[in-house]
């Protein structure tokens, strides 16, 4: 087996992971792109099982239900955070070595109200630039709370709370990121965005991940949370992206 030094992995990722030219351009100029995600058999069922088994400490309920630590919740989720086009987007936006900050489930229930426009990280703040991705477990559409984005706002130094009278309002330039189940939204996390109201009678399920510069502090300490069975299962590339080099203690 050929061992690859940690410092070499980013060079390999940058050389081997690519976005279509139009997608890369949209990511730079618009700040968000919707692409086809990896084919994952049984993903919907695996999502529901994982959410049902989650410990209360990993569950947060607000305008939606979030469940943390989806790195450790089954092999069905392993390909999401190492999907080549997601890694290529990280190279495009971060421009240097990066790592996964966290990956979680998010379910928007029927009747959920819209949230206000916000950014996930401000310009030059700790963890900037940040890359977000949202894998659609269910189709996102105009009725079930699809995420709205304001094109080009990732280039704006101000946040929506500084530039708008009320970030809950519709923005004249906003677009909805819609697509069939299995699609992935990739975005510069400095873009103004939020989920819209779920006016349907359907859940809108997704898996969300964020990536940060390698020297930044991650939202989740993957080394501390890593389960032995996960470490044994995942690839060397995944261990690099997670910034986990050593097996956890059983």
| 97 domain residue, yes or no | yes
pLDDT in tens, 200-237: 999 999 999 999 999 999 999 999 999 999 999 999 99
Task: Mark out the alpha helices in 30-165 (DSSP H runs).
Answer: 43-53, 84-94, 160-163
CATH number, domain at 109? 2.60.120.620
pLDDT in tens, 93-119: 999 999 999 999 999 999 999 999 999
Evaluate if residue 135 carries a pLDDT over 80: yes
Q: Which domain holds residue 97?
A: 6-242
| Domains identified in the chain, total number | 1
| 90 domain residue, yes or no | yes
Question: Is-above-0.75 flag for pTM?
Answer: yes
């Amino acid at each position: 087996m050929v061992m690859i030094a940690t410092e070499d992995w980013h060079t390999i990722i940058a050389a081997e992971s690519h976005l279509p030219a139009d997608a890369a351009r949209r990511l730079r100029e618009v700040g968000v792109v919707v692409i086809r995600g990896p084919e994952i058999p049984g993903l919907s069922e695996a999502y529901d099982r994982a959410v049902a088994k989650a410990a209360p400490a990993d569950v947060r309920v607000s305008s939606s239900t979030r469940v943390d630590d989806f790195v450790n919740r089954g092999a069905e989720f392993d390909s999401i955070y190492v999907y080549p086009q997601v890694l290529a987007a990280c190279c495009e936006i971060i421009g240097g070595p990066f790592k996964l900050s966290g990956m979680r489930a998010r379910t928007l229930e029927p009747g959920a109200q819209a949230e206000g426009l916000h950014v996930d990280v401000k310009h030059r703040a700790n963890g900037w630039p940040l890359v977000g991705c949202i894998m659609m477990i269910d189709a996102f559409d105009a009725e079930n709370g699809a995420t709205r984005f304001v094109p080009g706002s990732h280039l704006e130094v101000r946040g929506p709370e500084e530039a708008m009278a009320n970030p809950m309002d519709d923005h004249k330039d906003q677009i909805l990121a819609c697509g069939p189940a299995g699609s992935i939204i990739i975005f510069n996390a400095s873009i103004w965005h939020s989920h819209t109201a779920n006016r349907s009678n359907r859940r809108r399920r997704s898996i969300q991940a964020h990536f940060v510069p390698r020297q930044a502090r991650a939202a989740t300490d993957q080394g501390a949370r890593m389960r032995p069975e996960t470490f044994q299962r995942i690839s060397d590339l995944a261990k690099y992206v997670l910034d986990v080099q050593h097996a956890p203690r059983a």
